């Protein structure tokens, strides 16, 4: 049985494959279904967007679908950019645009606490979608550092480390990141579903 990863973000897809043990499942992605339009992420929460993506891709393909939505939640900005992390600077914005806005919004603010959070949804045909989540605490630094990763990674230093997500080797980030923690939760909580899909 196939499992569809409901994303066309190559960076996200690469991370998921690097982190998650799909236990012999045949895995494909939204890239393999070019006729299916992109899901409009108009939910007010990460949970809503993850569920919407998983359910719509499941319905469009007839296959089980796994989707995630992630966001950076900054304490001094009342949890922003949160669910709007990818498009915080406006439609069509780049990672660089968002990072510039983050530095601008936090300029002179001593409170740099933040967390990355990921919600993962699993949709199976004819069944209610399920969710798990993972998060990692850290702080926002004052200048970009590193060229690994993507998004806000060059500005985020996880607790217990001196390097940003963009400086840490991928194998380290993929053990401690919000997405890694959510995927580990998915693996632990949904083992029986994945084993059932193998048969």
> Residues with catalytic annotation?
69
User: Which backbone phi and psi does 177 adopt, to 5 degrees?
Assistant: -70, 165
CB atoms within 10 A of CB 125: 11
In Å, what is the CA distance from 157 to each residue of 8, 46, 95, 194?
A: 27, 22, 17, 33
| Sheet with 26-29, side-by-side order of all strands | 26-29, 2-5, 65-74, 113-123, 130-140, 156-158
Residue pair 7/65 in contact (Cβ under 8 Å)? The answer is no
Q: What does the DSSP 8-state code read for residue 52?
A: H
Provide the pairing of β-strand 2-5 with 65-74: parallel
Of 142, 122, 140, give the one whose Cα is nearest residue 131: 122
Residues 6+ apart with CB under 8 A from 115: 72, 73, 135, 136, 137, 138, 178
In the chain, what is the straight-line distance between the N-terminal and C-terminal CA atoms, in Å? 7
């Amino acid at each position: 049985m196939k499992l569809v990863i409901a994303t066309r973000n190559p960076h996200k897809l690469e991370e998921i494959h690097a982190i998650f043990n799909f236990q012999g499942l045949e895995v494909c992605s939204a890239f393999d279904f070019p006729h299916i339009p992109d899901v409009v992420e108009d939910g007010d929460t990460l949970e809503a967007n993850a569920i919407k993506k998983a359910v719509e891709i499941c319905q469009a393909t007839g296959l089980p679908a796994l989707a995630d939505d992630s966001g950076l939640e900054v304490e001094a900005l009342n949890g922003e950019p949160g669910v709007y992390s990818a498009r915080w600077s406006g439609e069509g914005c780049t990672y660089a645009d968002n990072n510039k806005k983050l530095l601008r919004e936090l300029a002179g603010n001593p409170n740099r606490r933040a967390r990355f959070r990921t919600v993962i949804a699993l949709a199976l045909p004819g069944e209610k979608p399920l969710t798990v989540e993972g998060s990692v605490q850290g702080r926002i630094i004052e200048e970009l550092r590193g060229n690994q990763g993507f998004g806000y990674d060059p500005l985020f230093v996880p607790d217990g480390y001196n390097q940003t997500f963009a400086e840490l080797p991928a194998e380290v980030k993929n053990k401690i990141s919000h997405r890694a923690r959510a995927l580990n939760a998915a693996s632990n909580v949904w083992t029986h579903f994945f084993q059932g899909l193998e048969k």
